[in-house]
Chain A
Amino acid sequence: MYRYDEFDHKLVADRVDQFRGQVERRVSGALTEDQFKPLRLMNGVYLQLHAYMLRVAIPYGTLRSEQMRMLAHIARKYDRGYGHFTTRQNIQYNWPALDQIPDLLDELASVEMHAIQTSGNCIRNVTSDQYAGAINDEIEDPRIISEIIRQWSTFHPEFTYLPRKFKIAVTGHVNDRAAIKLHDIGIVVKQNDAGEVGYEVHVGGGQGRTPFVAKKMNAFVPKAKLLAYLEAVMRVYNMLGRRDNSYKARIKILVHETGEDEMRRLVEAEFAKIDASQMLTVPQEEIDRISAYFAPPAFETLPADSDGFTKAQTADADFARFVRANVVAHKQAGYAIVNISLKPIGGVPGDATDAQMDVIADLAEHYSLDEVRVTHEQNLVLPHVQLDDLKTVYDVLAANQLATANLGLISDQIACPGLDYCNLANARSIPLAQEISERFADLDRQYDIGELKIKISGCINACGHHHVGHIGILGVDKKGTEFYQISLGGAADENAAIGQITGRAFTEEDIVDAIETVVTTYTDLRTDGERFIDTYNRVGMEPFKERLYD
Chain B
Amino acid sequence: MTDYHLVIDGATTPETWSYIDDDAPLNDAPIISLGRLKDQADALRARGGKLGVVLQADDPDKTRGKTSMGEDVHELAPYLDMLSLVSIAFPIYRNGRGYSAARVLRQELNFTGELRASGDVLYDQWAMMNRCGINAFELAGDVSLETFKTALGELSGAYQPAADQQRGALWARGK
A502 at the interface (CB under 8 A from B): no
Interchain CB contact under 8 A, B169 and A7: yes
Residues of A287-317 contacting chain B, CB below 8 A: 289
Interchain CB contact under 8 A, A242 and B67: yes
Interchain CB contact under 8 A, A38 and B132: no
Interchain CB contact under 8 A, A11 and B155: yes
Residues of B146-167 contacting chain A, CB below 8 A: 154-162
CB distance from B29 to the nearest CB of A (A): 28
Interchain CB contact under 8 A, B157 and A242: no
CB distance from A272 to the nearest CB of B (A): 11
Q: Which of B100, B108, B122, B173 contacts A158 (CB 8 A)?
A: B100
Residues on B with C-beta less than 8 A from A289 are 173-174
Q: A11-B157, A18-B155 are in contact. Are A160 and B96 (CB under 8 A)?
A: yes
B5 at the interface (CB under 8 A from A): no
B171 at the interface (CB under 8 A from A): yes
B19 at the interface (CB under 8 A from A): no
Residues on A with C-beta less than 8 A from B68 are 242-244
Q: Which of B101, B160, B173 contacts A7 (CB 8 A)?
A: B173
Give the number of chain B interface residues (Cβ < 8 Å).
Answer: 44
Residues on A with C-beta less than 8 A from B93 are 35, 38, 161
Q: A7-B173, A273-B108 are in contact. Are A152 and B159 (CB under 8 A)?
A: yes
Interchain CB contact under 8 A, B157 and A157: no
Segment at the interface with B among A276-284, A406-414, A415-423, A451-459? A276-284
Q: A244-B68, A282-B170 are in contact. Are A161 and B100 (CB under 8 A)?
A: no
Q: How far is the CA of A161 from the CA of B128 in the complex (A)?
A: 10
Interchain CB contact under 8 A, A14 and B156: yes
Residues on B with C-beta less than 8 A from A254 are 67
Residues on A with C-beta less than 8 A from B131 are 157
Interchain CB contact under 8 A, A157 and B128: yes
B99 at the interface (CB under 8 A from A): yes
Residues on A with C-beta less than 8 A from B162 are 156-158
B95 at the interface (CB under 8 A from A): yes
CB distance from A252 to the nearest CB of B (A): 14
Q: A158-B132, A161-B93, A286-B173 are in contact. Are A239 and B154 (CB under 8 A)?
A: no
Fill in one digit per residue for A464-481: 1 if any B CB lies within 8 Å of its CB, else 0.
000000000000000000
Across the A-B interface, how many residue pairs have beta carbons closer than 8 Å?
119
Interchain CB contact under 8 A, A161 and B94: yes
A516 at the interface (CB under 8 A from B): no
Q: Closest B-chain residue to A240, C-beta based? A: B69
Residues on A with C-beta less than 8 A from B99 are 157-161, 238
Q: Which of A10, A39, A238, A257 contacts B157 (CB 8 A)?
A: A10
CB distance from B50 to the nearest CB of A (A): 28
Q: How far is the CA of A282 from the CA of B159 in the complex (A)?
A: 12
Q: How far is the CA of A335 from the CA of B159 in the complex (A)?
A: 37
Residues on A with C-beta less than 8 A from B67 are 240, 242, 244, 254, 257
A267 at the interface (CB under 8 A from B): no
Fill in one digit per residue for B94-130: 1 if any A CB lies within 8 Å of its CB, else 0.
1111011101100110000000000000101101111
Residue of A8, A161, A279, A285 contacting most chain B CB atoms (<10 Å): A161
CB distance from A23 to the nearest CB of B (A): 12
Q: How far is the CA of A15 from the CA of B124 in the complex (A)?
A: 12
Q: How far is the CA of A435 from the CA of B82 in the complex (A)?
A: 70
Q: A239-B100, A239-B101, A257-B67 are in contact. Are A155 and B158 (CB under 8 A)?
A: yes
Q: How far is the CA of A8 from the CA of B157 in the complex (A)?
A: 9
CB distance from A293 to the nearest CB of B (A): 13
Fill in one digit per residue for B72-94: 1 if any A CB lies within 8 Å of its CB, else 0.
11000000000000000000011
Interchain CB contact under 8 A, A238 and B171: no
Q: How far is the CA of A348 from the CA of B75 in the complex (A)?
A: 54
CB distance from B56 to the nearest CB of A (A): 12
Q: Closest A-chain residue to B162, C-beta based? A: A157
Interchain CB contact under 8 A, A158 and B154: no
CB distance from B66 to the nearest CB of A (A): 8
Listed by A's residue number, 23 A-B pairs whose Cβ atoms lie within 8 Å are A11-B155, A11-B156, A14-B154, A14-B155, A22-B124, A151-B160, A152-B168, A155-B155, A157-B128, A157-B129, A157-B131, A161-B93, A227-B170, A235-B100, A239-B69, A239-B70, A239-B72, A240-B67, A242-B69, A243-B58, A279-B107, A286-B171, A289-B173
Interface residue ranges, B against A (CB under 8 Å) = 58, 66-70, 72-73, 93-97, 99-101, 103-104, 107-108, 122, 124-125, 127-132, 154-162, 168-171, 173-174
Interface residue ranges, A against B (CB under 8 Å) = 5, 7-8, 10-11, 14-15, 17-18, 21-22, 35, 38-39, 121, 148, 151-162, 227, 235, 238-240, 242-244, 254, 257, 273, 277, 279-280, 282-283, 285-286, 289
**Can you add 10 more A-B contacts, CB < 8 Å, to A17-B154, A152-B160?**
A10-B157, A18-B155, A151-B159, A151-B169, A157-B132, A158-B132, A159-B99, A160-B128, A161-B99, A280-B161
Nearest 3 CB-CB pairings of A with B: A161-B96, A157-B131, A157-B128
